[in-house]
Amino acid sequence: MKVIINIDGGSRGNPGIGASAYVIKDTSGKILAQEGHFIAHCTNNQAEYTALRLALIKAAELGAKELSIISDSLLLVKQYLGEYKIKNPDLAERMAEIRHLARPFQIQIQHVLRHLNKEPDALANKAMDLKQSVGFNPICHLPPAPQKEQPANNNLLNGVPIEPVVRNKEGKTQKKKQIQQPSLFDGF
């Protein structure tokens, strides 16, 4: 099944409250799903990327195979196509997830001017106004975004073990065993 997907995202304050939206239609123009997903705190670019992520999740849920994606974010489109580098680490992680979600589809993505992308823009603004998600046939089970991997040992700083400071009721640091301070010039 082929679907046409319009996506948009926005943030008031950048960063600030935001929303991501998608409108999915069949080739005859019938709306299959639309959702404005409220985000308590995000940047414009995070909201745009989230809109694409949500649209891909919903397209899979609908059983679509061929996607024609339309966005008014030139940055998102160019970065998805690999024409612009993704310098922001958060956006790079989001794009990695988007590319993973996009694997089963045949995708065509294009940039349009804002006035040609009014439906998802209106949904995103409605979600921001209400401070809650809105829509028709929204995603049934939204999978959590992948979590960043934490370093194996969080108690090392520059190769030196660190411990939390423990204070007594009076606010004074409690004495712990003395650790030999490494010299900055060892080995020179």
* 24-46 average pLDDT score: 96
CATH 3.30.70.2970 fits 2-136, yes or no: no
pTM of the model: 0.77
CB 145 within 8 A of CB 97: yes
Closest CA to 56 of 3, 13, 15, 16: 3
Q: Name, in order, each residue with C-beta under 8 angstroms of 63's C-beta and a sequence gap of 6 or more.
A: 1
DSSP 113-177: -GGG-HHHHHHHHHHHHHTS-EEES--SS-PPPPPPPPPS-TTEETTEE-----B-TTSPBPP--
In the structure, what pLDDT confidence band is assigned to residue 121 with cuts at 50, 70 and 90? very high
Q: What is the pLDDT of residues 44-79, one digit of tens each?
A: 999 999 999 999 999 999 999 999 999 999 999 999
In the structure, what pLDDT confidence band is assigned to residue 151 with cuts at 50, 70 and 90? very low
Residue 73 CA to residue 78 CA, distance in Å, equals 9
Q: CA torsion, points 77, 82, 87, 93, in degrees to nearest 10?
A: 80
> Which structure tokens are listed for 67?
């996607």
What pLDDT is recorded for position 181?
A: 55
Residue 165 pLDDT exceeds 70: no
For the chain, the domains span: 2-136
Q: Name, in order, each residue with C-beta under 8 angstroms of 43's C-beta and a sequence gap of 6 or more.
A: 11, 14, 15, 18
